[in-house]
Structure 1
Amino acid sequence: MADQPVFVLGEGLQALEAAAFETEAEFQDLPARHPRVPDFGTLSDGRPLRLVLVAREMGVATSTDSGPAYWLDHLFVDADGVPTLVEVKRATDTRVRREVVGQMLDYAANGARYWPAALLQRSFEETCRADGRSLAEAYGELLGEQHERSAEVFWATVEERLAAGQMRLLFVADRVPLELRAIVEFLNRQMRQTDVYAIELTQYRGAGDLKVLVPRVYGEAAMAAKTASRQRCPRRTLPHEMDAAIESRCTPDVRRVARALPGHAQSRGRLVGGTAKYPSMNVHYRVADQWVPAGTVSLYESPAREELAFSFGALTKRLGLDAAAAFAAALPMVGGLGQKPAEQRAAGFRGWPQVPLTALAAETDAVEKVLTAIDQLADGQGPSS
């Protein structure tokens, strides 16, 4: 059936007729020039979603030592740090039916692996400068009342979202064929952390330069079927909350140990609040041009205990077995750490060996040896002789 006109009622009645976009470039650049068009939904705290452009033609690598193999049309991000990957296709492009889906999944899988926080931050800031926007204005729009967060911490959160598969995949077309709608609905039902949508963007034109864009969103029905218990952005322990818990729960000796690692991370790396029900804080360090989680300080509540866990699985995945083995060899042999690294070695360094903070507090220089091991890891060195 032919498109019906859209009527504008003012002093009189004006009919706007459906009209094709004049050029491919005009349609391709619409989401970047007008991000409110693909902008729907809410943030985790109920505020309206507002997408902010990270980059046009975002390069997608397929290995750590190669340049971009593909180019995503647009990459956006919201204030929760959730990225939105956008591919734009006109109905005249036959790839809009099925091939574009394979492309998008390729971009998402490789972007999750090869878009580190530093690259995302640099891409966003270069886009701002190219568009003539000040960084203060851009970050103010992106983070709003949360602007006190450092840019580095925000982009590290985006990197974490990508690694966890917490993203949106958005197809924009002037006509969304039935095949693409079916695939979008199917993927939305099957993918727990990733949301998939298609937007059909119809243009209507009237007298003079009057244009109206009418978006229709596909995929929301399948979104409603996803489990209501899913939480895209779980509540994290804040640094002041962790410090208050340490102050109220720990003895002075344990207090010193519990604050040493977060304090070291604040000066040399970064802190990321844990999402468990008990207070916890993860410490991350920049190693070989990527953020690597070294460990987590946790104040368990039932039964009450304080522990430091080392994230050997993440170290091995990001830096390799040799780096994980060198880090294990540099740790102090207290609180069971004499035996646990050996067990980790046999298991391929993939676990979370823990040591009680009381054991670190009881051993002279134990916490200093932990910090030295982390310094050696961050500097790319093995244990000192």
Structure 2
Amino acid sequence: MVIDVPGMGMEMAEQPVFLLGEGLNALEPAAFETEAEFQALLARHPRILDFGSLADGRPLRLVLVAREMRVPTSNESGSTYWLDHLFVDADGVPTLVEVKRAADTRIRREVVGQMLDYAANGARYWPAALLQRTFEETCAVDGRPLEDAYQELLHGQSPEEFWATVEERLAAGRMRLLFVADRIPLELRAIVEFLNRQLRQTDVYAVELTQYRGSGDHRVLVPRVHGEVATANKTQSRSGQTGRKWTRADMDAALQSRNPDQRQVALALLDHAEAAGRPVGNGAAYPSFSVYFPAFGREVPVWTLSLREDPAKDDLAFSFGSITHHLGSEATSTFADALPAVGGLQQKLVAQRTKGFKGWPAVSLAALAGDPEAVRQVLAAIEQLMRHGSA
């Protein structure tokens, strides 16, 4: 990282740097020839972006999930956006990266709107199973053994638990947004610093990566990071929430403010989860539980119950991406057929079927509470799915 020296203006960026060995070799500023070259460099060498540290003080080490990551805009439509890079760290915090050269006029304002689109829709439509599958496919393409790749991330967790944490971070807005360019315009720097002050959970940075080339293969890359001051100022206010996991007692307390019918639905789901599965409190900003059920010797995330600030928005969401990944499309289709036709859920499942069951369809607790048979159907569908997984 380069530290700005007081009194030195931006004109210094045009000065050479010098490599001293057997002689003195001047390395001159050199632009990246193409955006693709720029992107490939970051994918191969993510340590260029490793600034800061993890929650426990360990150095940050970003690991590539995917280059050109699909970003859906809804459960019903196809993917219309492509994020340049998605990385993740050992705390399960995702890092979204957009790369632009200074010659691209979109680096000033348009790229900000793009990034916010990616962050908002990725948080909604990147289930844990999709992220895990994408990461493992990237490792296979790059020829990197999964054992080596996961060694940097898991630290005693299972892969499923780790990616569930990543999904929770996304849902809670815990992520980093990085704008990377060979020159950061003042307009973009101002926007980044403003966003970083305003966004409580999300950290926003602009990384200016200057390249110097000399004779032969000599090459120097110098990153300069903008936005760290605003991040440091908000870290203390956020530190009390880091790693927060909701407990069953938290869920029970939150349910006291719900009407009796919705409370009965939620308690039936939670009691069944404790008896037959493994409920895990999420790190979302609102009380939330995800439940894993055993299947083929692994624990599969099946549903998440979320109690929002507005009780009308309380919902039960099904992890179809994970179910499909672990149990196959036939078992997922049977599961979908067994779910109740309430609250628009069936219409969502029809749309899911056309997309290969990779989304996260949800139904409100109010809709489930309005049909006396709905919860029984949900629990029966889960039991049927578990029997398939134990066969």
Using the size of structure 2 for normalisation, the TM-score is 0.68
Q: For residue 149 of structure 1, what is the amino acid of its counterpart?
A: Q
Is the 2:72–2:125 Cα contact (8 Å) retained in structure 1? yes
Q: Which residue of 2 aligns with 1:63?
A: 74
Equivalent residue, structure 2, for 1:356: none
Within 1, Cα distance between the matches of 2:381 and 2:148? 37
Question: Using a 3 Å threshold, how does the CA distance of structure 1 residues 191 and 27 change in structure 2: closer, same or farther?
Answer: same
Does the aligned pair in 2 maintain the 1:316–1:349 contact within 8 Å?
A: no
Letter in 2 for 1:348: A
Structure 1, residues 133-191: CA drift from partner, whole Å, max 9, x if none? 11111111222xx1x31111111111111111111100000000000000000000000
Q: Distance in 2 between matches of 1:50 and 1:94?
A: 31
Tell me the secondary structure at the aligned position of residue 33 of structure 2: coil
Partner of 2:227: 219
In the TM superposition, residue 4 of structure 1 has moved relative to its aligned partner by 1.5
How far off its partner does 1:376 sit?
2.4
**Structure 1: which amino acid aligns with 2:219?**
K
What's the CA shift string for 1:262-283, capped at 9, x where partnerless? 35214xxxx424679xxx9944
For residue 142 of structure 2, what is the aligned residue in structure 1?
131
Please name the residue that 2:366 is paired with.
Answer: 348
Q: SS at the partner of 2:115?
A: helix
Query: Is the 1:60–1:70 contact (alpha carbons within 8 Å) kept by the matching residues of 2?
Result: yes
| Match in the other structure for 2:380 | 376
Question: By how many angstroms is 1:95 displaced?
Answer: 0.3
| Aligned with 1:198 (options 193, 197, 206) | 206
Q: Is the 8 A contact 1:265 1:283 kept in 2?
A: no
The reply to whether residue 314 of structure 1 matches residue 315 of structure 2 is: yes
Structure 1 gap segments, 5+ residues each: 240-257, 297-309, 327-344, 352-370
1:314 alignment partner AA? D
Q: Please say if residues 312 and 324 of structure 1, whose CA atoms lie closer than 8 Å, have aligned partners that are also in contact.
A: no
- Equivalent-residue separation in structure 2 for 1:161 and 1:186 (angstroms): 22
- Contact kept? 2:282, 2:290, Cα under 8 Å: no
1:340-371 Cα distance to aligned partner (Å, 9 max, x none): xxxxx9x93699xxxxxxxxxxxxxxxxxxx9
Q: Deviations over 1:53-90 (max 9, x none)?
A: 00110011111122211100000011111110000000
Q: What's the offset of the Cα at 1:11?
A: 3.3
Indicate whether 1:92 and 2:110 are aligned. Answer: no
Instruction: Determine whether 1:17 maps to 2:18.
Output: no
Is structure 2 residue 291 aligned with structure 1 residue 284? yes
Q: Percent identity?
A: 63
| Matched AA of 2:37 | E
In the TM superposition, what is the alpha-carbon distance from 1:24 to its structure 2 partner? 2.7
Higher relative contact order (CA 8 A, sep 6+): 2
Match of 2:60 in 1: 49
Match of 1:162 among 148, 166, 170: 170
Give the Å deviation of 1:15.
Answer: 2.1
Query: Which residue number in structure 1 is paired with residue 242 of structure 2?
Result: 233
Distance (Å, rounded) in 1 between the aligned partners of 2:235 and 2:219: 39
Q: 1:45 to 1:324 in 2, by over 3 A?
A: farther
Aligned-residue offset at 1:38:
1.2
Post-superposition offset of 1:29: 1.4
Compared CA separation, residues 208 and 316, structure 1 to 2 (3 A):
closer
Instruction: State TM-score, norm by structure 1.
Output: 0.69
Paired residue secondary structure (2:236): coil
Asked if the contact 2:342/2:368 (under 8 Å) is kept, the reply is no
Please say which structure displays the higher CA radius of gyration. Answer: 1
Q: Could you tell me how far apart the structure 2 residues matched to 1:293 and 1:237 are? A: 12
Dislocated runs of 4+, deviation >6 Å: 316-321
Closer, same or farther: CA 62–105 of 1 in aligned 2, 3 Å: same
The residue type equivalent to 1:193 in the other structure is Q
SS of equivalent residue, structure 1 residue 36: helix
Letter in 2 for 1:73: D
Structure 1 letter corresponding to 2:46: P
User: 1:25, CA displacement in angstroms?
Assistant: 1.8
Q: Which residue in the other structure is 1:265 paired with?
A: 277
Give the conservation status (yes or no) of the 8 Å contact 1:111–1:162: yes
Deviations 1:183-205 (A, max 9, x none): 00000000000000010000011
Tell me which residue corresponds to 2:6.
none
CA distance in 2, matches of 1:274, 1:98: 34
What is the CA deviation profile of residues 215-237 of structure 1, one whole-angstrom value per residue up to 9, with x for unaligned ones? Answer: 00011121122251203632548
Q: 1:216 to 1:140 in 2, by over 3 A?
A: same
Q: Name the structure 2 match of 1:4.
A: 15
